[in-house]
Structure 1
Amino acid sequence: MGDTEHMRALRILIVIAVVLGGLFVAADRIAVNVAESEAAERIKVQEGTADSTAVSIKGFPFLTQAMDQEFDEVEIRLDGIRTSAAGRPVRIEEMTADLFDVRVGEGYSSATAARAAGTARISYADLTEAADDGVTVAYGQNGKVKVTGSVTLPLFGKITRSVVSTVSIVDGDTIRVRADKVPGEGIPGLEGEIRKKTDFDRKLGGLPAGLKLEKVEAGPDGVVITVTGKDVRLAG
């Protein structure tokens, strides 16, 4: 075989390799899309529901990871998580999390991530719904929230106050809202009564088992909670 024949054969082999590689990539992408849809349907939240879920499986090739039943990184997004706390509805507008070292069972019947990190956001409208009746929560600038509530006192009637409050996380599962200061204005018992309305704790369920609340920051569009976790159970 002359040089021309060798070059022709080499080109044919290259073309075949490219075609086969393209077919593998296409098959891999089809498989990952199917798996992502299937996984999204199987994600479970605790003591609540979610309006929608989405899964993105990172890394290539997918098929190799699927054969090993272990994925290096998976991103999930849950919108409209609905649960309740202290008899009040609690809605988490959205949550996204990166999950690492995810092991799955046959047919995606179970899935557990070794570790996870992400964020969850609660709007002020939803935080207001979670507060006591007649209380509103809004952004208060500089990482604080503004909480407004009214009380009725003998001789003084209805008194409304807006207080600047700090939002914090307690016990890894509870949002705490506490007024920094309540002006008493010399009215006996006013501060205590106002705090009964404006200070509140809300334990958040509705997240996949194993996730915990790490910290919270108040911003213009709501409170953003950092979530972390180990051995996070997504399904099963």
Structure 2
Amino acid sequence: MSGEVYGTERPRKKRRGRRLLITLLIFLILVGGVLVGLDRFAAGYAERMIGERVSEQIADQNATSEKPEVSIEGVPFLTQVLDGNYERIRIQLANLSGPAGNNRTVRVADLDVNADDVNAPLDTIRSGSGPIVAKTVTGTGTIDYPQLAELIGQPGLKLAERDGKLVGNAPVQALGQTFDVSGTAAVTVKEGVVQVRFSDVTAENLPNVPIIRNLINSYVQKLSVDLRVPELPLKLAVQKVEPTPEGLRFTAGANDVSLNAAGV
């Protein structure tokens, strides 16, 4: 036997190839981490700028809110920048408060705004001039029932949602007695104003006499209220209102909205 050993070179090449592959994978992971970090940094910067502009808009409208929370959805962010189109920009406003007419103030606990299909060419972003437009903007918010009852201003009035309708009840004095009256309200929107109109007001054991009916009719008129939601950012206009267990939930919308004032 010659004593020669064959096949020792191949395992060494395999080990070198394996180390090279591991090194490449680590490099790609590091590069990917840097790119993800850069992407999130750029998105965070844009989100802060949008939040600042929205805050300025709210202040210009004599309204107040907590610091807007802005998130640019869809990933990666830098790809959207290069393409000039953004899937969705979400703006959340907590405790929005503003004038509602007749020296009244309305508070909206949470306003959730979505700007969809935003077109912002890279040249516009770079130069700071040119159109930045969202194809659609929608917003939803809720006015709670204790606040609505306070705005109506009738003592003892309690409001709630029942079977998708706004219902109310309150004590009424008549003939030296206190009657608990209740009724259902129609809630509509007309030219951006929320209108609450009660009807079918009834009460148990209430005498069916003209003087009592006139008293109840007069009381029903006092329950009517026209409520202007605080001026909303991004030219949002109230389109629909519906009773929910938490309060009157409104939906606002606008099309082809310029976002330049919001600082996109």
Other-structure match for 1:208:
233
The one of 39, 64, 78 equivalent to 1:49 is 64
The 8 Å contact of residues 189 and 241 in structure 2, kept in 1 or not, is answered as no
TM-score by length of 2: 0.73
Other-structure match for 1:223:
248
User: Does residue 1:165 correspond to 2:184, yes or no?
Assistant: yes
The one of 101, 105, 108 equivalent to 1:92 is 108
Other-structure match for 1:61:
76
TM-score by length of 1: 0.80
Other-structure match for 1:76:
91
Structure 2 residue matching 1:180: 3-state secondary structure: strand
Report the residue type matching 1:72 in the other structure: E
5 Å-filtered alignment, 1:9-158, equals 9-43=20-54, 44-45=57-58, 46-87=61-102, 88-103=104-119, 106=125, 112-132=133-153, 134=155, 136-148=157-169
Q: Deviations over 1:112-142 (max 9, x none)?
A: 4211234211111221233246473421422
% same residue? 28
How far residue 58 of structure 1 moved from its aligned partner, in angstroms, is 0.5
Bigger proportion of residues as helix? 2
How far residue 69 of structure 1 moved from its aligned partner, in angstroms, is 5.0
Bigger proportion of residues as strand? 1
**Larger displacement relative to structure 2 (115-124 or 223-232):** 223-232
Report the residue type matching 1:199 in the other structure: S
Report the residue type matching 2:134 in the other structure: A
Pick closer, same or farther for the CA change 1:94–1:190 going to 2, 3 Å.
same
Q: How many residues align?
A: 234
Q: Deviations over 1:45-67 (max 9, x none)?
A: 44522233211111111123234
Structure 1 residue matching 2:66: 3-state secondary structure: strand
**Larger displacement relative to structure 2 (12-21 or 41-50):** 41-50
The 8 Å contact of residues 156 and 170 in structure 2, kept in 1 or not, is answered as yes
The 8 Å contact of residues 95 and 118 in structure 1, kept in 2 or not, is answered as yes
- Can you give the 5+ residue segments of structure 1 that lack an aligned partner in the other structure? none
Pick closer, same or farther for the CA change 1:163–1:234 going to 2, 3 Å.
farther
The 8 Å contact of residues 167 and 218 in structure 1, kept in 2 or not, is answered as no
Other-structure match for 1:175:
194
CA RMSD of aligned residues (A): 3.4
Structure 1 stretches of at least 4 aligned residues deviating more than 3 Å after TM superposition: 2-11, 66-70, 103-112, 132-137, 146-153, 156-163, 232-235
Separation of aligned partners in 2, 1:160 and 1:37: 55
Separation of aligned partners in 2, 1:181 and 1:52: 43
The 8 Å contact of residues 208 and 234 in structure 1, kept in 2 or not, is answered as no
Q: Deviations over 1:19-51 (max 9, x none)?
A: 101111022122222322332222134452223
The 8 Å contact of residues 135 and 147 in structure 1, kept in 2 or not, is answered as no
How far residue 68 of structure 1 moved from its aligned partner, in angstroms, is 4.8
Pick closer, same or farther for the CA change 1:146–1:234 going to 2, 3 Å.
farther
Structure 1 residue matching 2:226: 3-state secondary structure: strand
The 8 Å contact of residues 111 and 139 in structure 2, kept in 1 or not, is answered as yes
